[in-house]
Structure 1
């Protein structure tokens, strides 16, 4: 995942309440067990715990210039 910093990825994630969500994010950085990103669903900064990511992949048709 570190190779995709600055790019858009899609992830499936379990939030702290146990709800499973799918989000498209622009990956800003990874430090320790935390992923810093901008959620493109809400256009807000978010932090995700890596151990709560169920699945991820590069967003189709999205690159560094996509939003």
Structure 2
């Protein structure tokens, strides 16, 4: 994921497949807040908690369309 791609994702909901440092892969839905130095700051929408992801460990990503009620 290039820095230009990351910039476009700020404020967006994204689904990622992520490999942690132990080699465990997880699929997460996150809201992207920012990026700096190869790190992506986000809120994990599964746990509701803040997270920081190493961009090089994001194996796949796609934007998620969010339906707003009202």
Short-chain TM bin: 0.7 to 0.9
Distance in 2 of aligned mates of 1:19 and 1:27: 21
Higher Cα radius of gyration:
2
Match of 2:38 among 28, 33, 48: 33
Does structure 1 residue 15 correspond to structure 2 residue 20? Answer: yes
TM-score, normalisation: structure 1: 0.87
For these two proteins, the number of residue pairs brought into alignment is 64
Unaligned 5+ segments in structure 2 are 1-5
TM-score, normalisation: structure 2: 0.83
Offset of residue 62 of structure 1: 1.6
Counterpart position of 2:11: 6
Unaligned 5+ segments in structure 1 are none
* Structure with more helix by fraction: 2
Distance in 2 of aligned mates of 1:12 and 1:46: 14
Aligned structure 1 segments of 4 or more residues deviating by more than 6 angstroms: none
SS in structure 2 of the partner of residue 9 of structure 1:
strand
